[in-house]
């Protein structure tokens, strides 16, 4: 019995399995390519957050703020860890329009001018 002229039944089945598998692999790899785009986005968000954190500490700019860059919005907030306001928790959260979220936490010892 021949489904395809020139091919035996077994050859046809093997060919179909191989072609299907290859299509599956190609589809999977394409989906991974799309995922890596998301990963790159996460990385971009992380870098933006980190740069802002470094800038915040360098400028001692410990005030709540928000920034937007394209479809990315970044929030910066602070919580005092101690009553004397000498230790601060900085939280920076970045999100984009597709719902990718990155969060960054750091404790900062405040070098105020109390002395």
Determine which residue in the list 3, 9, 13, 25 makes contact with another protein, applying CB under 8 A.
25
CA angle 79/113/80 to nearest 5° reads: 10
Determine which residue in the list 36, 51, 69, 77 makes contact with another protein, applying CB under 8 A.
36
Identify which of residues 1 and 68 has a Cβ nearer to another protein in the complex: 1
Per rule CB under 8 A, is residue 21 in the interface with another protein? yes
Determine which residue in the list 3, 8, 69, 77 makes contact with another protein, applying CB under 8 A.
8
CA–CA separation, 23 vs 42, rounded Å?
Answer: 29
Question: Which residues of this chain interact with another protein, rule CB under 8 A?
Answer: 4-8, 11, 14-15, 18-19, 21-22, 25-26, 28-29, 32-33, 35-36, 39, 42-43, 46, 50, 81-82, 86-87, 89, 105-109, 111, 113-115
């Amino acid at each position: 019995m021949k489904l395809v002229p020139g091919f035996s039944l077994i050859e046809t089945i093997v060919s179909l399995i191989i072609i299907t598998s290859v299509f599956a692999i190609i589809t999977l790899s394409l989906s991974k390519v799309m995922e890596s785009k998301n990963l790159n986005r996460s990385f971009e968000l992380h870098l933006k957050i980190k740069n802002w954190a470094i800038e915040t500490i360098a400028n001692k700019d410990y005030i709540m703020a928000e920034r937007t860059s394209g479809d990315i919005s970044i929030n910066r907030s602070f919580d005092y860890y101690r009553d004397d306001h000498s230790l601060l928790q900085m939280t920076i959260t970045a999100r984009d329009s597709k719902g990718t979220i990155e969060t960054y936490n750091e404790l900062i010892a405040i070098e105020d001018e109390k002395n």
